[in-house]
Amino acid sequence: MEQDNTTKSINDKLPEELLREILLRLSVKHLACLKCVSKLWNNLISNPNFAKSHFELSLAPTHRCIFIPEDTFDHRSIDLDALPRAIHGDAASATITKISPSPTVEDKDYDLDPDFVSECIILGSCRGFIAFYQYPHFFVIWNPLTGSHRIISCHHIAKFADISAQCFYSFSGDLLFGFGYDAIRDDYLVVLFWNDKTSQEGHFDLFSLRSNSWSSFKNDVNIPDQLKRRENWAPSLFFNGAIHWLNHDGDDDDDDDDDDTTATILVFDTSERKSFSEIPVPEEVGKYYPCHLTVLGGCLALYYDKDDDYDKSVIWVMKEYNVQSSWTSYEIPSSYFEPVCLSDNGDFIGFDDSPGMSKYNVRGELLLRFDRSCDQIGYISYAVYTESLLILPNDGSEEKEGSSSGVKETQECCFKPR
């Protein structure tokens, strides 16, 4: 007797390939729940190839901002896609959530207060992964959604540089950190430029998460002279297949001669791995320090406070990548404004001198202050990221024995609850 079509499950009605195509079009937050529907759905969503396709083809990516609050080292995140839809300053719809902190590190050579080991700073993000520096000399690459993470020791560099001597929220200007993805080799990279305190030589080291090892590119990478002379540490961002830094050549906190200060965006192609290129910034930007680099609405952007007008901040957006004529400036009537994202209408959302976050339009008019839920997210450091199901290369294996890099890797099989 033929089975009644009404009693058939959706798995029987739809071919597996069609089901996969439907799931690819759903947001990552919904996929987390749908894994529980059936074994078939769980296997489809958990497949690494599905995760990669979903990240690259998703019609509904979820953008979040992760924070380390000032009063605790627990991590919190906010849904940036929901925030612009909040009304009357009520950011509750953005779902500010507390999530488990990054993995802690055990180091037998570290004999201070164990609680201090967990202190860290967020360094950047790439494809759903957050990069941390974790005191005293570790980096952590972590997917907040899945819990997948890798702990990378830079102990060998700390012996020659000032990494372990720095407090948890800052670096010396002698160290430049970057985190990015090599699409050709399907590899995630941690890159470091550092100065040997003994020989005063500059070094460029690269950690490949696929090979699970450090490599030195001291003689192979063309390091710009201005990088060797830098006075202050700068965070990086991964954008358009490359790691970007904003570099001030000749900047010095004690130097009042603005004419000696120039700025440029240094670019390191993660697939080529051979040299740096440069993107000039508008001439007006060079004299302002500190100036910061970010991404707004899929474009490179710069922002800074006007030291000749303490009631204004300036945002420059490069609307076409590496096209100088596309730089466009906007002024925000706030003594300090740090843009985090753009709304669908092109409004700037970020931190200013008020509690929580604020929204301004391109004319600099204050549209809204998010003073309720958002006052929970005063921060030490933060990063904007796109949620993903992606895992790191070689995830799921046991800790590698005999690795000179001191790497641990963990893959958790289920989603972290929100």
For the chain, give every domain's residue range. Answer: 9-52, 63-105+121-128+170-207+220-388
pLDDT at 1 over 50: no
Most confident of 41-50, 151-160, 391-400: 41-50
**288 or 121: which leads in pLDDT:** 121
pLDDT at 220 over 70: no
Residue 158, CA atoms < 13 Å, CB-side half-sphere: 19
Residue 361's identity, in one-letter code, is N
The average pLDDT across 149-157 equals 86
| pLDDT the model gives residue 294 | 94
Residues of the chain with pLDDT > 70, as a percent, come to 66
* Per-residue pLDDT reduced to its tens digit, 30-62: 887 888 888 888 888 888 899 999 998 877 788
pLDDT band for position 145 (cuts 50, 70, 90): confident
| pLDDT the model gives residue 402 | 32
| pLDDT the model gives residue 154 | 86
pLDDT at 272 over 80: yes
| pLDDT the model gives residue 418 | 38
pLDDT at 188 over 90: yes
**68 or 133: which leads in pLDDT:** 133
| pLDDT the model gives residue 166 | 55
Q: What is the mean pLDDT of the chain?
A: 76
pLDDT at 408 over 50: no
Looking only at the bridges linking them, the beta strands covering 242-249 and 236-239 are: antiparallel
pLDDT band for position 160 (cuts 50, 70, 90): low
| pLDDT the model gives residue 411 | 38
Most confident of 34-38, 294-298, 397-401: 294-298
* Domain topology for 63-105+121-128+170-207+220-388: Neuraminidase (2.120.10)
pLDDT band for position 407 (cuts 50, 70, 90): very low
| pLDDT the model gives residue 254 | 47
| pLDDT the model gives residue 80 | 85
Most confident of 8-12, 44-48, 225-229, 306-310: 44-48
| pLDDT the model gives residue 59 | 73
